[in-house]
Amino acid sequence: MPRSDSSGHVRNSRDDVVAAALEILDRQGLPDLTMRHLAATLEVAPSALYWHFPNKQSLLAAVSDRIIAGARPAGPRARADDWRAAVRAEAGALHDALLAYKDGAEVVSSTLALGLGAEALQDRLVAALGSGGFDERTTSLAAETMVHFIVGHAFHRQQRIQADTLGAVAGAHSVDNENPVAREPQAFDLGITLLVAGLDAQVRRP
């Protein structure tokens, strides 16, 4: 919560700044998440934000970490020895977390590309793969591959949803007359299933 310093001025905590940034992101999107807009929302001078974040990239990294931290698998918890169910649950939860905020996938994608944070994405998938019997290198590469798929699919889906809302999607319906946006959750589920099946085949390979 905001607190006052010795001079009586209100000082926002790091959590306050990240929470306000997330609110702007979700309500208005990434283009409007500027340091100046954020400072105005918090009713402080832009320079006050640099007490917590040296630049916008570090702020977006903190926002990315907060988005990922909000991922909660749905349904009952997978058994500790059922790595397949654990991976599906984590992948679905992380995907949903990226979609929970407008432009959330784009923010996390840029953070990953710059190497500034969002490591929890891969860490959580590595943990889910833990009981699969894979060597360390295979586990790391599999988790990294899943991260690319999860973030890429969520980013694509958010772009399509926004374009569809604006009526800008060319060829809005496929040959079976089904809107591509409506098919994307099925495509995501199939993609994760294929990745898990491929790993399953890998561990059984002589």
142-170: pLDDT as tens digits = 999 999 999 999 999 998 887 777 766 65
Report the pLDDT value the prediction gives residue 1, as an integer from 0 to 100: 44
Those residues with Cβ within 8 angstroms of residue 152's Cβ, 6 or more apart along the chain or in another chain:
109
Q: Per-residue confidence at 5, pLDDT binned at 50, 70, 90?
A: very low
Kindly state whether residue 195 falls inside one of the protein's structural domains: yes
- Asked whether the predicted pLDDT for residue 7 surpasses 50, the reply is no
- Asked whether the predicted pLDDT for residue 113 surpasses 80, the reply is yes
Kindly state whether residue 81 falls inside one of the protein's structural domains: yes
**Higher local confidence (pLDDT), 40 or 171:** 40
CATH of the domain at 23: 1.10.10.60
Residues 115 and 154 in one domain: yes
Average pLDDT, the chain: 85
Residue linked to tokens 């700044």: 17
CB 68 within 8 A of CB 118: yes
Question: Which H, E and C letters describe 22-70, residue by residue?
Answer: HHHHHHHCHHHCCHHHHHHHHCCCHHHHCCCCCCHHHHHHHHHHHHHHC
Closest CA to 111 of 30, 19, 187: 30
Give how many domains the chain has, as a whole number: 2
Domain limits for position 176: 72-204
pLDDT above 70 covers what percent of the chain?
A: 83
Residue 90 structure tokens: 């984590």
Chain centroid to Cα 74, Å, comes to 16
